[in-house]
Every structure is written in C-alpha cells, then in structure tokens.
Amino acid sequence: MGTRLPVLWLDERLHRDPRLMREAILQTLETLPAQADTLLVCMGFCGGSWAEIKAPRRLVMPRADDCVSILLHTSERSGYNLKEPGHLYVKGPDPQRASFAGIFARMTAGAPPEQRRIWHERWKASYCSVDIIDTGLYDCRSKAYRRPVLADAAFLEAETATVPGSTKLLEALVSGQWDERFRTFEPGETITEEALRARG
C-alpha cells in the first residue's frame, strides 16, 4: 500500500485463549511510543479480548468479530461476522501449525479413552466443513498445503472447501480509507462489542 508504518506484533497463538490475548494487548498498549497519536488495530474483537479496554490514543479498528471475518471480507461481502456455522477456517501460510487433530490431542491429553471418544464425537457433530480461505497470499491449492487440511477434515469427518477471501480490509486500514467498515475510538473511549458493531 506504499506505507511505512511501525508494527507491533502479537503472537497469533494467543488467539487460543482470549485472556492471554487481552494481557498481551494491555502490555503492548503500555509500550506505545509517545509520538504515536493513532493506533491501527489489525485484528477483530477476537473472543472479547478488547472488551472494556480504554483507547490510550485514537484507535481505528475493523468492524469484525475476529480475524477470520477480516479475511473473509471481499469487495462484494462485508459484515461483522462472515463465518458460516459449523465451518472451521484455515487462513495461515502453514496449516500444520493449527492442526485440529493436534489441538484435540493436547486438550485431551491424559483423559481416559472413553472420555476422549465422547469428546471426539462432539467435535465431529459440531463441524461440517473445513474451509481454506484463499486470500491470494500463498498457494493454498497445492497438494502440500491441502494435505494437513484434508487430514483435519478426515479427523472431523467433514467436507473441505476453498472459499474466497482478501486482504482488502487490512489494505484499507493501513492506507487510511476508514469508511463505515471501521470504528474510530477516541482517547479514553471504552471499547465494547456494541460500540464496534454499531454504525452511524
């Protein structure tokens, strides 16, 4: 987008626990450079991790429930929550990092086999599709990329699909095109989900 903005990174693995993400957000806000007058938030509300945080500077945030919905925004599609019920979404350059079978194994480690079986059945009943978001940033249609996705779908007994996505919302954010798709919070204003969703 032709911009050279300083970036403060948060580990995406923090999304697994909104409490940890919230702690990281608060710590990061405390380290903002004194000369920074505007903070561009390149994430959504993400499990309530931004709830009741006071904006320390002017803060511009996409009107999105989470990061998946941000990437599902296309020129034809916008909204707060664009996910389909029963769908899991793959969005990163390495789908193996977020293996659902691996997550299940970690979550159920040490549980009796029968309890693991019951939980696995519940997971399978909750999901019907594992969807790859194609933002055009990497080759998500290659065999190597799809292999772990297909393994996760088999683990969940779910279908697979490739769905259109884009980085348009992030491009608009960093280039200052803050239209109705964004909410600006002024310094001292409290961030709430209601305020983020409300338009006008």
Q: Print pLDDT tens along the chain (200 aa).
A: 888 899 999 988 888 788 999 999 999 999 999 899 999 999 999 999 999 999 999 999 999 999 999 999 998 888 999 999 999 999 988 888 778 888 899 889 999 999 999 999 999 999 999 999 999 999 999 999 999 999 999 999 999 999 999 999 999 999 999 999 999 999 999 999 999 998 75
Q: For 34, phi and psi rounded to 5 degrees?
A: -60, -35
pLDDT for 100: 85
Q: pTM of the prediction?
A: 0.89
The whole-number pLDDT of residue 200 equals 58
Contact 145, 139 (CB under 8 A): yes
Among 62, 103, 66, CA closest to 82: 66
Q: What is the CA radius of gyration of the chain?
A: 18
What are the residue ranges spanned by the domains of the chain? 12-69+168-197, 78-164
Say if residues 157 and 188 touch (Cβ distance below 8 Å).
no
- C-alpha distances in Å from residue 80, one per residue of 11, 157, 177: 23, 29, 18
Report which secondary-structure segment, H or E, holds 88: strand 87-90
Question: Do residues 61 and 53 touch, judged by C-beta distance below 8 A?
Answer: no
